[in-house]
Copies of this chain bind each other. A is one copy, B any other.
Amino acid sequence: MRITADEAMSVARFLLERAGVPDEHARLQAEVLVEAELRGHASHGLQRLPRLLARIRHGLVNVSATGRQAWRRSAYLYVDGEAGLGPVVAMAAIRVLMDRVAETGIAVAGIFNSNHLGMLAPYVERVAESGYIGMALSSSEALVHPHSGAEAMLGTNPIAIAVPARPGEPFVLDLATSVISMGKVHDYALRGEPLEEGWALDAEGRPTTDAEAAKAGSLAPFGGAKGYGLGLAFELLVASIAGSAFAPDVRGTLDDCHPANKGDVFIVIDPVRQSLADVIAAYLDRVRNARVRDGAGRILVPGDRARSRRRESLANGINVAPVLWSRLTGPEATKLFSPKEEGHPS
């Protein structure tokens, strides 16, 4: 079924506010979820709401926290997220970084004890819109096996990089270092479709195309040994800078019973170049207009597809699974706020 972005925002804000989230925090959290829907990433969209509400219900989220920020060094911000909402803590840190780079040129924030960020693109996009370069890294539960490995030891370890270009059209890269997301594996399992070969291993470490078996197993890094190396580097960067846990010990982004102990890292750079955005925009156009391979479609630049999907969603609405929508808006929605279940491990 199709709903409008406004409806999605209203419902998400209403549910969050009813769960006790302050207005402004509810707006930020809802925006990140709806932005994912608008770009066609349902796995990071509204379907995250029931678990987030359960986490709030179970006392795992401090809904009013914005994070305790401390400058460890003049360009290195260390943030105890105080169990706050991921987008709230992150956006507060990013604002502080953007203020600081006028003096330092580059600044980094390491955030621990904060809840799930959702999709990374909206964060770095905000930075690029202000004329700066933005980078984001975030860690997660172990879902990805090492190259040659048979069990998950790494998070999906996404990276996002945004660079200013033409107004409203920044370069925005946002990718996981796994060949496919676990959310997508769940989608394949729901539809009963087979995975492509090489995407996943089962719980015993054997290659599988059975999505159900892969759910209990592990995902391959993208691009073989190189993607594994990058994912591992990002794992180390986040744990080093944020002081957070390594993937095998991470809890709290896929469950509703553990505090979140993953880490987030943001880097903001002020390249101090006049007309940088114009120069970048001109080069990106050269790339888009390069010769195309026989039989291939257009050459896209990271950010292009998300923008066109977003336009399409704003015009025609967001595709939401009816079962999810009724869970969020139907009579059973009250369960999202029921008092703490007896015997719950939180």
Interface residues of A in 42-88 (CB under 8 A from B): 72-76, 78
B237 touches A163 (CB 8 A): yes
Residue numbers in B under 8 Å from A191 (CB-CB): none
Selecting from A12-20, A290-298, A335-343, the interface stretch reads A290-298
Cβ of A170 to closest chain B Cβ, rounded Å:
10
Give Cα A291–Cα B201 distance, bound, in whole angstroms.
12
Is the pair A291, B205 in contact by a Cβ cutoff of 8 Å? yes
- The answer to whether A76 and B302 touch across the interface, beta carbons within 8 angstroms, is no
User: A276 to chain B: which residues have CB within 8 Å?
Assistant: 240
CA distance A229 to B150 in the complex (A): 28
| Chain A 259-287 interface mask (CB, 8 Å, partner B; 1/0) | 00000000101111100100110010011
CB-nearest residue of chain B to A241:
B271
CB-based contact B239/A149 at 8 Å: no
With a cutoff of 8 Å between Cβ atoms, the chain B residues found around residue A248 in the complex are 286
Q: Copies per complex?
A: 2
B78, B241, B280, B300: the one within 8 Å of A269 (CB): B241
Chain B CB within 8 A of A299 CB: yes
Chain B nearest CB, measured from A201 CB (Å): 7
Q: Are B243 and A273 touching (Cβ within 8 A)?
A: yes
Interface-lining segment among A1-9, A23-31, A99-107, A316-324: A99-107
Q: List 17 A-B contacts (CB under 8 A).
A: A76-B105, A106-B106, A106-B108, A147-B300, A148-B299, A159-B230, A163-B236, A171-B233, A173-B230, A201-B293, A223-B223, A223-B224, A226-B227, A227-B227, A236-B280, A241-B269, A241-B271
